[in-house]
Amino acid sequence: MDLRQVRYYVAACEEGSLSAAAQRLHCTASGVSQQMSALEKRLGTTLLERTRRGVVPTPAGKRFYESCLDILRAVSDARIDLEDFDAAVTGSISAGFAPGLAKCILPQALARFTREFPKVDISIGSGTADDLIDGTSSGALDFYVGQLAESRLGLTDTPMGRYPVALISGARRGFHRMKPLRLDEVGPLKLTLPSATNSLRPKILDSIRHGDIDVDRTISIASLAAGLEFLSQTDWSTILPYWIGLHELGNELLTVNPIVEPQLHLELDFVHPSRLPLNKPSKTLYSYFLQELERSLNEWQRITAAT
């Protein structure tokens, strides 16, 4: 059994399709199929059940998949040990952050990291949460920080905590800056909603259905930049994580208000491929990001406590 067969098998299990596994591995579907057949022949057992929709691991295949993850992690650990043997931290990072985090929290952490580790190459991914999760699943990204709607085979997700949100409105709406609000008493609101993949959206819709948010009209805007620009030109409002509100406090075209009721929160997850341990540079950047996130939360709590 060679390492290529192990990688092919893990990709087939996680993608649920030989053709999708081939696309992820940059090879042909027939090549993956041949390797899987050879692997099953060598082990003397059926690992994958072929269906019209793709492939599904058999009970033996599921157990073998976990062993394969251990193998790939061990190989990655050996590579990382060699990279870290040098006294200076070297290597590369490819990471994805949810747009709001990339705009409001990441820059400070990234500035510190690039000052302290000039020999590390960095690539920060952009796009929707689905795009960034797909990139993490394929291994194109070392890790992703943001919202994860549901767990996915091949990914390890670690909850980071629950974070407050804020009402952000166009200044024309007339709210007093940083005045705590009950959203069932200040309506009706014209409210923009986050995209369908945003974990905050169902919570907002549920609050609207229960009368906890008085709404006149809603529209969906997936782009954070477009949504904020729209608010700045209108009297519409939106509900976004506190770090975006904190970032926009100095914007005269927008008004930020803490929300008293309903008590909405946003969950964040740290996600990385189960088969690929984080190298030292990735761990360090994530650590710096967590420190900056905590600093911003303390600042938000300090400001809201004073209002």
Mind listing the pLDDT tens digit of every residue in the chain (307 residues)? 788 899 999 999 999 999 999 999 999 999 999 999 999 998 999 999 998 889 999 999 999 999 999 899 888 878 776 666 554 567 889 999 999 999 999 999 999 999 988 989 999 998 888 899 999 999 999 999 998 878 888 999 999 999 999 999 999 999 999 999 999 999 799 999 988 778 889 999 999 999 999 999 999 998 899 999 999 999 999 999 999 999 999 999 999 999 999 999 999 999 999 988 888 889 999 999 999 999 999 999 999 988 7
User: Of 167, 159, 148, whose CA–CA distance to 262 is shortest?
Assistant: 167
Separation between Cα atoms, residue 142 and residue 93, nearest integer Å:
7
Task: Specify the pTM.
Answer: 0.76
Query: Based on the number of CB atoms within 10 Å of its own CB, is 251 exposed (0-12), middle (13-18) or buried (19 or more)?
Result: middle
Of 125, 96, 103, 95, which Cα lies nearest the Cα of 241?
103
Element of type H or E holding 240: strand 237-241
- Residue-wise burial string across 186-216, b where 16 or more C-beta atoms lie within 10 A, e elsewhere: bbebbbbbbbeebbbbebbeebbeeebbebe
Q: Which three-class secondary structure state does DSSP give residue 96? A: strand
Mutual angle of helices 18-25 and 3-15, in 10-degree steps: 120
The identity of residue 219, as a single letter, is I
* The pLDDT value given to residue 86: 55
pLDDT given at position 75: 86
Counting Cα atoms < 13 Å in the Cβ hemisphere of 203 gives 17
212: Cα separation from own chain's centroid: 28
Q: Let me know the angle formed at the C-alpha of 31 by 29 and 33, rounded to the nearest 5 degrees.
A: 70
Residues ≥6 apart with Cβ < 8 Å to 22: 28, 29, 31, 32
Q: In degrees rounded to 5, what are phi and psi of residue 163?
A: -125, 145
Q: Residue 64: which of 139, 22, 13 has the closest Cα?
A: 13
β-partners of residue 241 are 165
34 contact partners, CB below 8 Å, separation of at least 6: none
Q: Do 38 and 9 contact (CB within 8 A), yes or no?
A: no
Dist. CA 229–CA 238, nearest whole Å: 12
Structure tokens at 101: 């985090």
Of residues 80, 105, 263, the one with CA closest to residue 184: 263
